[in-house]
Amino acid sequence: MVMMLDPQGQWCKVSGALRMYEPALTGAFCDWTVSSGGAMTVTDVAADDRFRLHPQVIGGLKIRFFAGAAIFTQARSVIGVLCTVDMVPRVLTSEQEDGLELLAKQLQARIELREQRRELQELIWEKDRAAARLAAEEERFRAFMNASPFLSYLKDASGRLLFYNQAFAQKFGVSDDAWLGRTGDQLWGEEISALVRSDDIDVRSNTGVVESEEQLRGSNGAVSCWKTYRFPCHDTFGNVLLAGIAVDMTEEVAHKAEIERYQQELEQANEQLRQLSVTDGLTGLRNRRAFEERLTLEFSIARRRERSLSVMLLDVDFFKQINDRWGHAAGDGVLRQLGETLRGSVRLPDLVARYGGEEFAVLIPESGPDATLGLANRMMQRIAAGDWRHTPVTVSIGLATIQPDTRDGFELVRHADEALYAAKRGGRNRVVIYDGEGAK
């Protein structure tokens, strides 16, 4: 039989004619085999003081003969014992003793070979798993980059493009791989190529992100403003790569210029408004007084500069039912949350105010009917999809835009109010526009 040894004890790997394993049979014999230096033969165990009182000697199988050879690892650690027993005394010849040790060495070789095969198979499996992970990571990387609205690219140290995403390809009107392997000298004019090379040198000489603002001409000839972030990175072989992300800032730049101009116009008015009590205590929005002060100013500017001006009035649908069912504290919570939603939905020049009770007003300078309608629909959808504590909340909205015959801002509010009530009569949770002849 072959007995394997581990820290938890001994167990039979394989046995011959006995077809059994009895720990009491082998425990003492294997221990003595190991302690004897690797091989032991007991011609008559009944005459040996170490074993003559063993239960399987005086009873049980009545063993009379034992021979064993230790099985070693390459590091000479014992991992098992090859042993043979008989029920009569025996004397082994030297050839038989050598044969027993040879069999033990063959077992050792087979065990080591099996372990090597297992380790090799594990390496193969790990390599396959690594390849699968790498492929999945590559797929995720490309999916992420191609879904990004930003222009992204990767170049080697020589400036050759190694990767660019679909936004980049669409911006310059090329296919997904047409520019791969090309340098700036092959893509841009001499002046632009020189600037690109200079930027690449700056990136390689820095360890952080290099920011820059630039203008790019797209495939349609239009010039746009971009903010570019360039930074060095390394591949798995330690090669320095140059990565870049460009964010389209065209609208933001134009909007910033417009805001700066608009801020100058409002500076004097804002100074006056700061002196007033203009904040609604419940929602933190501007109150009705502030709204009407600003309305007068904006109407004057719109008339003088022949620009558009719109007013939006919103009313919470079935607000009284909320107060009646869940109490005024719940109603106040709805108004506060609605105020936050409206504040986060408008532009910087717009003014959101609590006009009274559950009614809100939005003053929208330089916005015509189409833009105002789009804003109102987005607000209505955002409010309807909001996470409300007690019950879903919807609003009815009335819109009015300045007309040539509009006398003042308050008439504009009355037109929006007329549209609001038409929205309520029409079933609520809708937008109605006053078109100059009435609400529809």
Q: What is the number of domains present in the chain?
A: 3
* Residue 192 structure tokens: 């632009």
Q: How far apart are CA 163 and CA 142, in angstroms?
A: 10
Alpha-carbon torsion (319, 325, 328, 332), positive or negative: negative
pLDDT per residue over 147-182, tens digit each? 888 888 888 888 888 888 988 888 888 888 888 888
**Highest mean pLDDT out of 49-58, 80-89, 135-144, 373-382:** 373-382
**AA letter at 385:** A
Residue 13 has pLDDT above 80, yes or no: no
Q: How far is CA 228 from CA 168, 249, 288, in A?
A: 13, 10, 44
77 and 185 fall within a common domain: no
Amino acid at 5: L
pLDDT mean over 101-130: 89
Residue 116 exposure: Cα atoms within 13 Å on the Cβ side: 8
Mean pLDDT in the chain?
A: 86
Say yes or no: 333 and 414 in one domain: yes
**One domain for residues 244 and 344:** no
Confidence of residue 372 (pLDDT cuts 50, 70, 90): very high
Q: Where are the alpha helices (DSSP H) in 87-220?
A: 94-147, 166-172, 184-187, 190-204
Same domain, yes or no: 280 and 406: yes
- pLDDT of 276 > 60? The answer is no
Q: Where are the beta strands (DSSP E) in 349-411?
A: 351-356, 359-365, 395-401
Residue 24 pLDDT exceeds 50: no
pLDDT above 60 for 25: no
Confidence of residue 38 (pLDDT cuts 50, 70, 90): confident
Partners of 194 in beta bridges? none
Domain extent, residue 194, equals 148-248
Residue 136 is assigned to a structural domain of this protein = no
What are the angstrom distances between the C-alpha of 136 and each of 129, 130, 176?
A: 10, 10, 20
Last residue of a domain, one of 195, 224, 248: 248
CATH number of the domain encompassing residue 61: 3.30.450.40
- Beta pairing, strands 151-155 & 161-164: antiparallel
> Among residues 231, 248, 265, which one ends one of the domains?
248
Q: Is residue 32 part of a domain?
A: yes
User: CB–CB of 191/170 below 8 Å?
Assistant: no
Q: Where are the alpha helices (DSSP H) in 148-158?
A: none
Within a domain: 143: no
- Indicate whether 130 belongs to any domain: no
- Which candidate, 388, 365, 266, 261, places its Cα nearest to that of 316? 388
433 pLDDT tier (thresholds 50, 70, 90): very high
Is pLDDT of 275 > 70? no
User: Is 164:152 a contact under the CB 8 Å cutoff?
Assistant: yes
pTM: 0.41
Co-location of 260 and 155 in the same domain: no
pLDDT 10s digits, 242-270: 888 888 888 887 778 787 888 887 777 66
The predicted pLDDT at position 157 comes to: 82
Domain shared by 106 and 175, yes or no: no
Q: Tell whether 168 and 74 lie within a shared domain.
A: no
Instruction: For residues 281 and 262, give the distance between their C-alpha atoms in angstroms, rounded to a whole number.
Output: 28
With 0-12 / 13-18 / 19 or more C-beta atoms within 10 angstroms meaning exposed / middle / buried, residue 246 is: buried
268 lies in the same domain as 386: yes
Same domain, 78 and 194: no
Residue 132 lies in a domain: no
Q: How confident is the model at residue 212 (pLDDT cuts 50, 70, 90)?
A: confident
pLDDT of the residue at 158: 82
In this structure, the answer to whether residues 263 and 244 fall within a common structural domain is: no
